[in-house]
Amino acid sequence: MARNSYAVLGVKKTSHARTIKIAYNKLARVKHSDKNPENPRAAEELQEVCLSLLLL
């Protein structure tokens, strides 16, 4: 992963676990490949978001 996990999720390093989870859920809904069939990178972007959550 090239980017910082906090930056990918759009949260601060001092964020609570609940805030991180909420940010993940919002991004997962927006970046899901079923929601973005016209975006060929949607699956990669969702994978990056999922990996960021796992790392945090």
Q: What is the pLDDT of residue 14?
A: 95
Percent of the chain with pLDDT over 90: 71
Q: List all residues 6 or more positions away from 51 whose beta carbon is below 8 Å from its beta carbon.
A: 1, 5
- Quote the tokens at residue 27: 């991004």
3-class SS of residue 29: helix
Q: What is the pLDDT of residue 3?
A: 80
Give the predicted TM-score (pTM) of the model.
Answer: 0.85
Which residues of the chain are modeled with pLDDT < 70? 1-2
Domain spans, the chain: 5-55
Q: How many CB atoms lie within 10 A of CB 52?
A: 23
5-55 in CATH: which number?
1.10.287.110
In this predicted model, what pLDDT tens digit does every residue of 41-53 receive, in sequence order? 999 999 999 999 9
Q: What is the pLDDT of residue 35?
A: 87
Q: What is the pLDDT of residue 20?
A: 96
